[in-house]
Structure 1
Amino acid sequence: MLRLYCKYRPPNLKWPECLKNNQIRQNHFDSKAYQACHISFARFVLYGLVGSVASIYSIQNYNDLQTLRSFFNTELPPVRDDIFKERREIERISGIMQPMSDNPNYYLIIGPHEVLKKAEYMSKNQKTLKDLAKTINYPKFDVNLIECLSYQLTGTSHSYKFYWQNVLSRFEEFASKVAKKYSIHPILIIDDIAEISERDVEELQNIAKTAADHRLYTVVFIASDANLIKNFMKNSSYSRCATLYIGDFSKDEALAYLTNNCKMDTQMAKRIFDLCGGRISHIVSVVSVIDKLINKRKILGKRVDYNDDEFREEVIKKIDERISMIKDVYRIAWDAYIPEKSKPTILEFICNNLDANFTRGDIIRLFEDEEKGEYIFSTLLRNNIITYNVGAIEFGAPIIKAMFTELCEKRTRKLLSFNI
């Protein structure tokens, strides 16, 4: 700013003399050059402030969105190979996921919390298909199918890059070559169909039925909850579909997994179950950070023993940090997806029903507009904030109950402060 002033000061005058002379100073500050500089600087400051605020807001929104995507739309941390080992329903599903010479079929597998796609046998199946691709000279399989299908068919923001019809045609070309050379039928897995438009799902269903009828390949649809896919079940081709369901861990399953498979002591396993319940995605997330801690300690030559106080303290710290992170993600989902005007109504209802079961109709009737109520219900269900269980709604995960308990307490304090 000083340089701009000095640039237009009268010639043959030093700056202190310029400031002492009122007339000269008045002429100088009234000059068009100064006014232009002053206005430009004011605009620069204003735009800079607005730009900074907008940038911070945009960065925060982007970070929140990335956090949401990392939890809801992409893979969880690596899942242990034996996480589903004791579950009977997995035996049939595992068989479905293997390319076989048997007659191909079309399936719907329902797992409430994106459980199924985390199973280790699916990654093995992908490796099998990649190996097959190499033997039939199909080098573009890895890039054009695995990546395209994972982005395109799950309704993520990356879907604009590809047309799923083109991806599907590439898969059919691959399936045809594999069938001719090896007499086996590949599997096409379409994940999270609730995020795909109804028209596309209907078309994919018809394609799946045709593929099964003509012994081309097997199609497996995966859904987060049966309540979200009523239109899928109304399609006439659904009669050809076999439906399977896989749910979260029971208490005994969770404790057995943590103690037998993850080698935790009983006290630590109970602590994790108390915080996560049977929600497999939460348990997997917590176990992953403990695995990282164990590997780090082994590299440093430190003890890995639950009887060691230092190790236990580190484990507990990691568990609490991960639980807090998961809770924050649900809080972001609540803030991002529930309309601001609807939050007081739904929050009051939730505060009064934290430990009770309720129905879909109970939520919809909270709002005069039925479509609005349906939207709120579907949003809560799609983001796993509530769980649909045999006609009744429940929270299911202790982490979510804890989050709403905090929101309810905050709401109560706010109401009390207004009354005072």
Structure 2
Amino acid sequence: MYNKWLLNKPVKKGIQPKIDISDDKLVSRPLVIERFKKILQPDKDHSYYHLVCSEHGTGKITLVRIASNEVGCGVLYVNIPANLSELDKAFGKAINFAYERISVTRQWLRKINSDDTPKLSECAKALQTFRHASEMYKAKYDKPIVIVYDNVSHLVHKNPEILDILQDDAKHNADDRKYIAVFVCSEGSVPQRMESRSAWSRAKTPVMEIGDLSEEESMEYLIKNHKIKEVYAKKLFDLVGGHIIELKIVADDFLAGQKFEIIKQQVLDKVEKKFKSAQLLPNDQYYELGKSLICDLLKSNELSFLEFKNYFDRAEKLNEVLDSNIFSYHPEKNIVTFQSQSVKSYIQEKANIFHIYENFKIIEID
């Protein structure tokens, strides 16, 4: 009863997540924000939960927080921490739980790890207080509460069972039209796991994806926000594309006086470490497989997920390569592409080791 009472305040006012970026460095993406705000303002009969995906470094966290702040009332925001031991605190803060009295994730983990492990639907009872508040909110405002789970990628490798609990609960409450959950993640294993479960039947499709900045947005960011001349801004964009984190890094290095060739080599060295981790370099485990895959992907710029899957004889191999930040799975279109322009730049620079010869037209990478 105490927790039900505590939950009233954040439900009425909404959570205001902190935005850790100054206005002069913020890239305005009003179309993305407006699309997300529509998700955060469902009508009373809305019966789906949502998955929002993007690659690391696209600025999705900032965009999600801006939209959550602008909508305010009826939106709760949970930032899933990388350290699971802090998840109780994050969850408790978001819904104003007295988590010293009721430890949500500790209950889940105790049940998951016990000898007589119950069904996941039983673990989901830990959200009973939130569901009760959702019913009261809908009765008063004639629309469901929305809860945003940001950074759920932190759960998929070490504690996928908690992600499953949240997904099952989202499905059941979408069925009952009590509350709407929004899962925000980096592309990779999260969409694949969630899509493979029966609870996916209540997910809103197609999945919303937040992509890189367009060339126009990237050039405006470099020229307007960083005061870089157009000719140099174009060279930086051609190197890393519209990936906002990479753009910021190369822009900062350029403004610090580093020559473009040095910046380029630093970018390529970083990408090479990704290829090394993915075991796609000569004499590595996936080198031969990777050569064919890279050539086929260069020809069309994208592969269907089924075409990509056909390169692997085991799901473990596929997930290992897909999680290496060389390739990117896009659930909205069910396709796989290169993860970034910097990956393409590396392949172009190292065409010889992947047997992509100068007389082969696919070397002309966009």
Same fold (TM over 0.5): yes
1:195 aligns with 2:149: no
**Corresponding residue for 2:52?**
109
**Corresponding residue for 2:168?**
206
Where 1:119 maps in the other structure, the secondary structure is: helix
Where 1:270 maps in the other structure, the secondary structure is: helix
Structure 1 position 198, deviation (Å): 6.1
1:119 aligns with 2:79: no
Distance 2:125 2:59 in 1: 25
**Corresponding residue for 1:333?**
274
Where 2:37 maps in the other structure, the secondary structure is: helix
User: TM-score, normalising length from structure 2?
Assistant: 0.57
Task: Identify the structure with bigger relative contact order (alpha carbons < 8 Å, sequence gap 6+).
Answer: 2
Amino acid aligned to 2:145: H
Size of the aligned set, in residue pairs, is 289
Work out the percentage of aligned pairs sharing the same amino acid: 19
Distance 1:314 1:263 in 2: 9
Where 1:267 maps in the other structure, the secondary structure is: helix
Distance 2:190 2:323 in 1: 8
Where 2:181 maps in the other structure, the secondary structure is: strand
Pairing partner for 2:184 from 219, 222, 246: 222
Q: Is the 8 A contact 1:115 1:280 kept in 2?
A: yes
Q: Deviations over 1:367-400 (max 9, x none)?
A: 6xx11xx444433333331234656544253321
Amino acid aligned to 2:149: I
Q: Deviations over 1:320-359 (max 9, x none)?
A: 7666555444433332343874243135336745742363
Q: Deviations over 1:391-416 (max 9, x none)?
A: 6544253321333455555688xxxx
**Corresponding residue for 1:85?**
29
1:345 aligns with 2:288: yes
Where 2:145 maps in the other structure, the secondary structure is: coil
Higher CA-based Rg:
1
1:265 aligns with 2:214: no
**Corresponding residue for 1:399?**
342
Amino acid aligned to 2:237: F
Distance 2:231 2:36 in 1: 33
Distance 2:151 2:344 in 1: 27
Structure 1 position 220, deviation (Å): 1.0
Q: Is the 8 A contact 1:347 1:408 kept in 2?
A: no
User: TM-score, normalising length from structure 1?
Assistant: 0.51
**Corresponding residue for 2:114?**
none
Q: Which runs of 5+ in 1 are unaligned?
A: 1-76, 134-141, 151-161, 291-312, 413-420
Amino acid aligned to 1:187: I
Amino acid aligned to 1:331: E
Q: Deviations over 1:115-156 (max 9, x none)?
A: 364324416848979xx99xxxxxxxx984428999xxxxxx
RMSD over equivalenced CA pairs, Å:
4.9
**Corresponding residue for 1:383?**
324
Q: Deviations over 1:280-328 (max 9, x none)?
A: 34224445x36xxxxxxxxxxxxxxxxxxxxxx6445187766655544
**Corresponding residue for 1:249?**
213
Q: Which runs of 5+ in 2 are unaligned?
A: 1-19, 78-85, 95-104, 110-122, 356-366
